[in-house]
Structure 1
Amino acid sequence: MGDFTKLQVWILAKELAVNIYSLTASEKFSKDYDMRNQLRRAAVSVPSNIAEGEESGSNPQSIRFFILQKVL
């Protein structure tokens, strides 16, 4: 089991989530709560799924988890 916080893909996904949170805090999203919340949930799910896949154990399990997330 590795440290997912050192994975480049997780780092980029986290940066994307932070950027989306910043963008959706703008005036344009102040009245469209559903859109804002959907974008935020989707943004957070990416690094969360990477972390869950990495913590699931061996590389074959991680690869299977990432493939399932891509398909779903």
Structure 2
Amino acid sequence: MSKFQKFEDLEIWKIAVSIAVQVYSLCDAEPMKSDWGMKDQIRRAACSMSDNIAEGFEYNNNPDFIRFLNYSKGSSGEFRNKLVILHRSGKISDMVYNDLYAKSIEFSSKTKSLIDYLKKFEAEKKKK
């Protein structure tokens, strides 16, 4: 894996930002526009995914980055839970649900892979 110079180059950050942008657009239209509580919560969960990647990366050390990647992955779970609630309550369409759910699963999977890679790297560094 190559060394990244800035968090904006990370694929997982790009996926997370695309999810957040899509959520903001979704929340600007009815029926989400009037649901202040859920609108705020799902926006926060979506933004937290990319926020934690950015913050953790900027600490410039793998242990902190791993910790923040775990927070980001946790936010993805919270986000998916809210998607399920919105879908089952008829607030979002099948198409929107399926698209955002798939992106969130992709995000979680790729984030987990990065976490595993960094943990392995750190463990091997300690052996030397």
Flag whether TM exceeds 0.5 (same fold).
yes
1:1-72 equivalences in 2 (<5 Å): 2-67=5-70, 69=71, 70=73
Deviations 1:24-48 (A, max 9, x none): 1111113211111111111111100
State the number of aligned residues: 71
Structure with bigger gyration radius: 2
The TM-score, its normalising length taken from structure 1, stands at: 0.83
In structure 2, distance between residues paired with 1:54 and 1:15: 19
User: What is the identity, as a one-letter code, of the residue corresponding to 1:30?
Assistant: K
User: What is the identity, as a one-letter code, of the residue corresponding to 1:66?
Assistant: L
Residue 49 to residue 31, structure 1, CA distance change in 2 (3 Å): same
Structure 2 counterpart SS, 1:44? helix
In structure 2, distance between residues paired with 1:49 and 1:34: 22
Identity of aligned residues (%): 42
Residue 9 to residue 57, structure 1, CA distance change in 2 (3 Å): same
CA shift at 1:71, angstroms?
Answer: 6.0
Contact (CA 8 Å) 1:4, 1:50: kept in 2 or not? yes
The TM-score, its normalising length taken from structure 2, stands at: 0.50
Structure 2 counterpart SS, 1:2? coil
